[in-house]
Amino acid sequence: MVIPTKPIPPHLIAFLATTEASVSVAIVLIKYTIPMTDAHVRTRYAPSPTGIPHIGNTRTSLFAYLLAKKYGGEFLIRLEDTDKDREVEGSEQKIYQINDLLGITPDESPVKGGPFGPYVQSQRLDLYQKYSQLLIDSGAAYYCFCSEERLKELHEKDQYAKYDRHCRHLSQAEVQRQMVSGTPYVIRAKMPETGFSTWHDLVQGKLSMPNAECDDKVLIKRNGVPVYHFAVVIDDHLMEISHVIRGVEYIVSTPIHLFLYEALGWEPPVLAHVPLLLGPDKSKLSKRHGAKSVLGYVDDGYLPEAIDNFLFYLGFSYKDNSDLLTLDQMVEIFDEKRIQRQNAIFDIQRLNYLNSQWIKKMPIEDLFLRLNAFIPADWNDDKVKQILELVKERMFTLRDFAPAAEYFFTAPVVSAQSVLDQSGHTEKETVVWFETAKSIIKSISDFTATALHEELANAQAISGLSPKEAFMSLRVAISGRSVTPPLFDCLVILGKEETLKRLSSIFS
C-alpha cells in the first residue's frame, strides 16, 4: 500500500548531516521516510452530468471503490457540475443509477450526504472564490483581462500555442485600474517557467514533465465559476481524499494540480493513472466496438455481476480472468500494484462469455426475477422457469430468452413440406410415423421426458425412420425449428394437449 509520505524538512536535513548515527536519528528517519500506514484511505468518483457515463468512467469508479474498501476506507461520489452549458438533463440520476446497479455504493454522495458536503460543485462556489483569492494574495495566481477576441486571435495564429502570459506581470496599479473600469477578467495560475513537475504515480511509476511546457491555466472563469483543474484540487483536499484514481489522459493535467497543492501548502493525494480502454483493433474505444454505457449493456440483457467482472479485468492483472467474482471477492483480491500500465483491450466477446457464465451459475428464481423486463407480461411464470432450466445453458444475454422460448407460448406456422424435408421419407410414411407418435403420446400416463423418450424410441426403431429423421420431424412440427432444447423436455413443457394439437395440424 502506498500512502503519502512526509518530506524531510530542511532543518532536519541539516541536523542529520551534522549528527552521528543514533537512536534519535533513526526515529527522525522513520517519522519522515516510512509510509504513513495509519493514514485513512478515501477515494472518490467525480463525474460530470454532461451525459451518461462512458464505460471507462465506470471502470475508474469501480477501481476507486475497490481500493477504498480494500483498506477499510470510504468511497464517495462528487458531482462536478460547473459546466452548465454542456449539462444534459437526467444524466445526474443516471450516474447514481449505474453505481447502484453495479453495487458500487458510495459512503458519501449528493444523495446520501456526509460530513464533507455539499458534494455538488455548484453548491461550493464560495469556497473556490476564497481559495482563488488566497492564490492571488500569495502571488501564485493573477488576474487576466485579455478579451475573448484577443485570445481567439492568438489561437488562430497557432492553435497549439499556450497563453502568452500577457497579463502575468501587470502592475498592481494597472490591475486596480482595470478592476475599477469593470473590465471582465479570469484568474490564471502563475505556473513556474523552469524546472520539472515530478511525482510518483501508483500505476505509472516516476513521471516528470517540464514546467516550460505548462500553460498558465484559467482557474476561475469570467462568470466566477471555477474550471475543473481548480475545483478538483480544492475539493479533493477539503474532502480528505487520499488516493485519486483516474485515466492516463489526466497525466498532462497533473503539473497544474501539483502546483496548486504546493501553492496552498497542502499535501497532494496519491495519484494512480489507469490505462485507456481500446477496441480489439487497438484504436480508441468507440460505439463501433460495441462500447456503450452500463445502462445500455443492462438494457441489452447483461447482468450487473458480469459487467463488474468485465470491468475488473480491464487493466487489472489477475491469474485467471475467466473467474466469476463477486464484488466482495474483488475487494479481497484487489491490489493497486497489479493495475496494469498497458492499455486494456475492450473485447465484447469476453463480456459475452462472462455474462453467459453468470447466467448458468445463477439460481432459476433469481434469474427469473432478472428476466421479467425482457419477456411478455402474459407468459406463465411456471412455464418460463421450466424453459429457463432448458435454455439458460445456451444464453449469452437475458435478451436471448424470449426468441428461444417464443414457440412454447405461440404455436408456429409449420408447413408439411418442412416436416417432410426433415423426415426424408414420403408423406405417407411420415404420416404413419406421426400417427404412431400421437397414439403413444395420447396413451402415455407418465408424461415425463424419460417415459416419452423410452416409448417413442421403441416406436422409432420399428418405424423405418432413423432416429434423426423421426425425431427431427417431430421437433420441427412442434417448434418450427431444427434446433431446440432436448425434444422430450420440450414436449413435457408444452403439455400433452398442446403437443397433440401441433402434431395434428401438420397433415390435416
Torsion angles phi and psi, residue 273, rounded to 5: -100, 110
d(CA 437, CA 473): 11
Q: Which of 236, 257, 135 is nearest to 187 (CA)?
A: 135
Q: What stretch of H or E contains 26?
A: helix 23-33
Dihedral of CA 294/295/297/298: which sign?
A: positive
d(CA 119, CA 127): 13
d(CA 192, CA 169): 13
First-to-last alpha carbon distance for the chain, in angstroms, is: 76
C-alpha separations of 279 from 56, 235, 289, 344 in Å:
12, 33, 6, 9
C-alpha separations of 94 from 43, 85, 202 in Å:
21, 19, 30
- CA angle (482, 483, 484) in 5-degree steps: 120
Burial of 52 (0-12, 13-18, 19+ CB in 10 A): buried
SS3 344: strand
Look up residue 397 and give its three cell numbers.
444475454
C-alpha separations of 33 from 7, 27, 421, 459, 508 in Å:
7, 10, 81, 85, 90
Look up residue 476 and give its three cell numbers.
420441427
d(CA 502, CA 338): 59
496 is catalytic: no
What lies within 8 Å, CB to CB, of 17 at 6+ separation is none
Look up residue 239 and give its three cell numbers.
474532502
Helix (H) and strand (E) counts in the chain: 22, 11
For residue 484, give the amino acid letter: T
d(CA 432, CA 455): 16
CB contact at 8 A, 220 and 161 = no
Catalytic residue (choose from 157, 206, 282, 287): 287
Q: What is the DSSP letter of 109?
A: B
Torsion angles phi and psi, residue 226, rounded to 5: -75, 155
CB contact at 8 A, 61 and 74 = no
Torsion angles phi and psi, residue 188, rounded to 5: -115, 150
Burial of 86 (0-12, 13-18, 19+ CB in 10 A): exposed
Q: Which residue has the cell 434446433?
A: 483
Question: β-strand 277-278 against 218-220: which pairing, if any?
Answer: unpaired
Catalytic (active-site) positions: 287
